[in-house]
Amino acid sequence: MSRSFLILIYLLSLYSLAIGQDGDTLYFDKKWAVCKKQEAKYYRLIQQVDGAYIIQDFYKNDVLQMRVTATSIIPQIFEGQCFYYQSNGNLKASGMYNKGKPVGIWNYYNSNGYLTNTFNYNSIIDSNDITKKIDKMAISKADNKFSFALRGKLFGFFIIEDTYFSTATLGGEFLLKGRHSLGIDYTYFGWQYEKDDDKDMALYETFERRGYFYFDYKYKFLSNKDYDFYFNIYDKIGNYHLWLQGVSKG
């Protein structure tokens, strides 16, 4: 027999004991724990109507403390409009319950019955719900989209003494369904160096040319609000040339 089942039987026994003391009346101490009538600070009347329960709590001086409708007693699930009252009979708070949780705007009053504060419970989001929503936005929202981004840099040309240098990169990235990413880039690199003798006369030139295609595939297999985990494949293909060329004297 599970522990939760034993607890449920124990609670039902307490409810039966307390209700049996005085018809349909249930008694609570100052901590709202079920107790005997002589120890009670509050008492509860429960009336079943059309499959629901009308719950009324009273202070021990017979002043109404709360009135609400419930769809279940064990577990206790409040539903609909609820009113809480001060021990002097003035309204203390009012609002709505949905499946046992306060929702919407609740009004709060001081001991004289004047409205002092309001709070919107719909603005509260459970931390687990936040994580789930962020995860869903990170993946699912992008799942229906295809995007392409162009990237690169302009052709550069430099002259340093007898060295000529140039490079260029052009590429793009394809993003599919928020999980698949494929980047393709082409990079060109070239330089030319002139070798001189002691009299600063050209002897020969060295040429180097590189041209490569780079492929970068990523698959996002796990994502949360703090981290992304990828499976990555990276490779390149291309060619490389280096040669010398004599300089004819003019």
Walk me through the domains of the chain, giving residue ranges and CATH numbers.
3-124 (3.90.930), 129-246 (no CATH)
Output the CA–CA distances (angstroms, integers) from residue 16 to 10, 27, 108, 232, in the order listed.
Answer: 10, 11, 34, 63
Residue 240 has a pLDDT of 80
Using one digit for the tens of pLDDT, what is the confidence trace for 180-233? 888 888 888 787 777 666 666 666 677 788 888 888 888 887 776 677 777 888
Residue 109 has a pLDDT of 92
Residue 72 has a pLDDT of 92
Structure tokens at 20: 């049996």
- Chunked in runs of 10, what are the mean pLDDT values of the chain (250 residues)? 46 43 75 91 92 94 95 91 94 93 91 88 61 45 59 61 71 77 83 68 74 84 73 83 65
Residue 228's CB is within 10 A of a number of other CB atoms, namely 12
Cis ω before 75 (30° cut-off from 0):
yes
Residue 93 has a pLDDT of 93
